[in-house]
Amino acid sequence: MENKKIIGILGMAGFVVVADNWVVSPILPAISNNLHIDISSTGLLITAYMAPFAAFQLLFGPLSDRLGKKQVITCSMIVFTIATALCALGFGLTPLAFFRSLTGIFAASVMPISIALIGDLFPITERHKAVGTFLGISFLGQGFSMAIGGATAFLVSWRGVFILYAILSIIPTMALVRIYGSLPTNKNPHAEFVTPYVRLLAGRQSLSTYVMICLEGFFIIGSFSYLGAYISVIYHYDSLIIGLIMTGFGLATVVAGRLSGKLVEVFGPRQVLTFGLLSASIALLLLASYGHRIGYLLISIALLGFGFMFTHATLITRLTEFAKKARGAAMSLGAFSFMSAGALGTAIGSVLVDHGGLSKLFTICGVAMFVVWLVSFILIGRTRVHGQ
């Protein structure tokens, strides 16, 4: 099978998983009202998903190196689909939290192991474009998740949201089963579970890359998490309209993902990384100063999508060159770093919002991204971005 079709199938799986990451937020009030639980307790459903999602990434990386990447991804998508459907049957907080935890566990493998598989399929000269395309399709799910969740919950019920996502998940799952035999089987029966992480963190260039990913996750996800709240406060739109506006972020990541490989060919990965970091910085500062004007708001959201994708695709592609016999571990550590830093950034962001407001948060994160760009010359260097 053509590698492009494989990216499309992996991208569909990533789309569903990334969308599922964010789907509970807009339907929390509906779940709270239906189950007669206060909103603070219902918020535990997010933790029930995110905690195992982050932790099990570190397990699935070495596991995929040992058992095979296609084996882990395919099995994970099957269980993920079943667990998502079971969420619709959660008639209390405890069973619903259990099903969300099960979903988070198996969702954890899809993104990092897919990128590791792409690393096996494509040479480094073609890998940036391939990774960018995959990430663009996947993160479109982040943009659509709030609109899909809000609309389905409004028109049907919150249970309908999980049924819809289970149905959507069947498509890439069946496609993976169908092409299973044509996917490469790279196994390392001697793959270890701790040693690869120690080696990756001991290497200067790999450690520098993980630090950059942490900084990216901390400031971009830490600010993006409050974008919906900002639109609600400034414009008083409902969750459906907010979701549609935020879809601009997802659409921008798709376009940027497609462009990133071509830009690397023309300007080189170092310059694409600069485009990404500075675009994110400008987007957040523009949002802080002029976000109350709808035109500037839309431009800021799109620019943030471009900034995120140019930055993330460049750093993730760089990671595929480290520990070639343990790519699963390398990518899992990258995903864990990104998600953990994003969660920490979101938590600290809440403190900044309480003390200074949303605009202050965006201003601080925008300035910080400019500083991260300057720091990148120390951590990554002036010219080389890919490879050791």
We report the CATH number of the domain holding residue 173 as: 1.20.1250.20
Number of domains in the chain: 1
**385 assigned to some structural domain:** no
- Answer whether 99's CB lies under 8 Å from 90's CB: yes
**Residues 6 or more apart from 40 whose CB is under 8 A from it?**
none
2: left (phi over 0), alpha (psi -120 to 50) or beta: beta
Interatomic CA distance for residues 199 and 187, integer angstroms:
19
**317 assigned to some structural domain:** yes
Residue range(s) defining the domain that contains residue 27: 3-180+191-379
**111 assigned to some structural domain:** yes
Residue range 155-191, pLDDT digits in tens: 888 899 999 999 999 999 999 999 998 888 788 888 8
Residue range 308-348, pLDDT digits in tens: 999 999 999 999 888 777 889 999 999 999 988 888 888 88
- Answer whether 17's CB lies under 8 Å from 107's CB: yes
pLDDT at 388: 40
Q: Of 112, 101, 3, nearest to 57 (Cα)? A: 112
- Answer whether 300's CB lies under 8 Å from 385's CB: no
Angle CA 252–254–260, to nearest 5: 95
Residue range 216-227, pLDDT digits in tens: 999 998 898 888
C-alpha to C-alpha distances, 90 to 35, 95, 197, nearest whole angstrom: 9, 5, 37
**185 assigned to some structural domain:** no
Residue range 84-122, pLDDT digits in tens: 999 999 999 899 999 999 999 999 999 999 999 999 899
Task: Dig out the tokens for 158 from the structure.
Answer: 């919150």
Percent of the chain as helix, strand, coil, to the nearest 5: 85, 0, 15
Interatomic CA distance for residues 14 and 107, integer angstroms:
9
**370 assigned to some structural domain:** yes
- Answer whether 188's CB lies under 8 Å from 337's CB: no
**387 assigned to some structural domain:** no
**55 assigned to some structural domain:** yes
pTM of the model: 0.85
Task: For tokens 């900084």, name the residue.
Answer: 215
**186 assigned to some structural domain:** no
- Answer whether 301's CB lies under 8 Å from 246's CB: yes
